[in-house]
Structure 1
Amino acid sequence: MTVISPEFVAGLAADAEAAGISGFVAAAVINHEGRVLLVRRNPDDYMGGLWEIPSGAVEAGETILDALHRETTEETGLTVDQVAGYVGHFDYQNSRGGTTRQFNFAVTVEKTEPVVLIEHDVHQWALPDELPEVSDAVRELITR
């Protein structure tokens, strides 16, 4: 894992911009007792029914780390205690046809329950070798 400094995160953003990436997403890999927290997209959403790690868009004027903290709380009701490390990124085509880069961070949370969902229909704590329907990129991220 990599030490997370504001300079490191700014470098991630600069590299993505230089590659022509238009959208940024911050994502939290939350592990608890050997399981990772997954949330399922609502059936009527883009990529509906797909399981994913808690994540969301970096808004204008916000750093990737600011978005990581905000989105984790918005999507799960959990509060990030510590960003333990950067675990890589992947790119995907977004609902507007552009390319989004998802920056993934291992985090710890103050408490693991209750998980309160607003944007997803269900959650689970999954073992890495027993994942539900996740994207190939998320599967690779969790199982490496």
Structure 2
Amino acid sequence: MTATSPEFVSSLVADADAAGITGFVAAAVISHDGRVLLVRRNPDDYMGGMWEIPSGTVEDGESILDAMHRETTEETGLTVDEITSYVGHFDYQNSRGGTTRQFNFAVTVEQIEPVVLTEHDAYQWALPGELPEVSDAVRRLITA
């Protein structure tokens, strides 16, 4: 099964539902020349100042893959060209006290620039061994 097959995506949702997960987030790991695109949360946001990979909430009626495409474009202005693999998930406590599962996909984009930020205050292409302040989960994801 490939990362984009409906059966695989359905199994991700079923596993999360069975685990009692209350929210879903879809994320894109965008790499170029050995570096990963990171965006920084605005200082007044939940977890403000933290660097992360482009990600966002899966809306009602939206598939995980559709959300990943939409959020990548909304947050960076970049268009996903291809999903190369599913690179795993991690769970975290969200701002409402529930548990969110973030589904992470390695992707390529049509063009790596310009990066146009709408929800973050900075971006950088970071080497996996020289990451700024990211969560432990994102660090493990990028350096695995």
Per the shorter chain, which TM-score range? Answer: over 0.9
**Matching residue of 2:140:** 140
| In the alignment, structure 1 residue 126 sits paired with structure 2 residue 126 | yes
String of CA shifts for 1:1-52, please: whole Å, max 9, x gaps.
Answer: x543111011101110111001000000000000000000000000000000
**Distance in 1, Cα, partners of 2:102 & 2:60:** 16
Q: Does 1:44 align with 2:14?
A: no
**Cα offsets for 1:89-111 (capped at 9, x unmatched):** 00000000000000000000000
- Give distance in 2, aligned partners of 1:56 and 1:137: 16
Please tell me the root mean square deviation across aligned C-alpha atoms, in Å.
1.1
Q: What secondary structure is seen at the aligned counterpart in 1 of 2:12?
A: helix
Q: What secondary structure does 1:129 align onto? A: helix
CA spacing shift, 1:47–1:38, aligned 2, 3 Å: same
Which stretches of structure 1, 4 residues or longer, exceed 4 Å deviation after superposition? none
In the alignment, structure 1 segments of 5+ residues that lack a partner are none
Distance 1:111 1:3 in 2: 22
Letter in 2 for 1:82: E
- Residue number in structure 1 paired with 2:33: 33
CA distance, structure 1, for counterparts of residue 13 and residue 67 of structure 2: 13
Write the distance in 1 (CA, Å) between the matches of 2:10 and 2:42.
32
Q: Does 1:86 align with 2:86?
A: yes
* Aligned twin of 1:77: 77
Structure 2 stretches of 5 or more lacking a match?
A: none
> Counterparts of 1:128 and 1:4 in 2: how far apart (Å)?
25
Task: Give the corresponding residue for 1:4.
Answer: 4
> In 2, distance between residues paired with 1:119 and 1:40?
9
Identity %: 82
Q: Aligned partners of 2:96 and 2:26: how far apart in 1?
A: 18
Q: Is the 8 A contact 2:3 2:9 kept in 1?
A: no
TM-score, normalised by the number of residues in structure 2: 0.98
